[in-house]
Amino acid sequence: MDPIKTKIQTRSKETRQEIWGQLLSYAAIILIVAVVCSIFMFVASKGLATFTKDHASLRDFLFTTDWSPTTMGKDGRPLVGALPMIAGSFGVTVLAVIFATPFALGTALYMTQLAGKHGQKLLQSVTELLVGIPSVVYGFIGLNVVVPFVREHFGGSGYGILSGAFVLFVMVLPTITSLTVDSLRAVPSHYQAASLALGATEWQTMYKVTLRAALPGILTAIVFGMARAFGEALAVQMVIGNATLMPHGLLTASSTLTSVLTMGIGNTVMGTVGNNALWSLALVLLLMSLLFNLVVKWIGRKGRI
């Protein structure tokens, strides 16, 4: 065979490198997918065991308020009413996001539209700093500052959904702010130029054009904030009071899905009803974060221009 033919029919070094690189990245992808799938399957198998093996009813789980998985109810089923925790989780999440969104919007607008270079840099590093503070520190500050504050100004023991929401407010603020900043920065400047050239004031331009064009991104930011708030465990657990009772207001001690999980998972034996019931809570958390992700995807698709 002539040398050119052999040369083009054998694989070159570059081709072999290419194939090797492809294999490497496929392997990484497969590993990650496998990890995610197995986490899902693990949590699901444990969480569903409450209903299949221990014969708890799904309706009780979602709609009743007695949480005492190790004792049996009158119908011979374990008492796994998770409604108080679900309500608690949604309560702190929604309140925290309602508190945080106006501040985040204001900060983001200031950073992107009004502040000079120095102001921008300062605020940027402040928000980044807020992200970096460990949640136990937030919880500790919550315990020492927020709880007494709520007790004195709103009444009650100070432990409860309101305190949890206040602590989460500070924790989700940087998330919502930085994502909102990104979406505001992504608004093309020629929209603003067009608006100003039509005789709009800066405020009208911000309000009617910039914010509106950035709306899908801002909604995404809010949903990410909700996901963060929903999943936060430690800081909330320190200030919410951890009573697995249906919250009767914002000031009574209550609990969230995450706080019950962190409190209980070390005190139960693997495979028992008590343990499985906690896994069911974990499953709810997992499904919720999946839902948040889907919502983000959906907004992204709807909002694409």
Partner 1 sequence: MVNEYLTTKDVHLFYGQKEALKGINLAFPQTGIHALIGPSGCGKSTYLRCLNRMNDLIPSVKITGEIELDGVDIYQPKTDTVELRRQVGMVFQQPNPFPFSIYENVAYGLKLSGRQSKEFLDERVEQSLKQAAVWEEVKDQLGDSALSLSGGQQQRVCIARVLAVQPSVILLDEPTSALDPVSSNLIEEMLLTLREDYSCIIVTHNLQQASRISETTSFFLNGSLIESGPTKEIFVEPKKQETDDYLSGRFG
**Which residues lie near partner 1 (CB under 8 A)?**
188, 190-191, 193-201, 204, 208-209, 212-213, 305
- Cβ proximity to partner 1: between 120 and 289 the closer is 120
Query: Tokens 């990104």, residue?
Result: 182
> CB of 183: closest distance to partner 1 in angstroms?
13
- Cβ proximity to partner 1: between 40 and 191 the closer is 191
- Cβ proximity to partner 1: between 197 and 270 the closer is 197
- Cβ proximity to partner 1: between 7 and 212 the closer is 212
> CB of 193: closest distance to partner 1 in angstroms?
7
> CB of 192: closest distance to partner 1 in angstroms?
8
- Cβ proximity to partner 1: between 120 and 252 the closer is 120
> CB of 224: closest distance to partner 1 in angstroms?
22
> CB of 194: closest distance to partner 1 in angstroms?
5
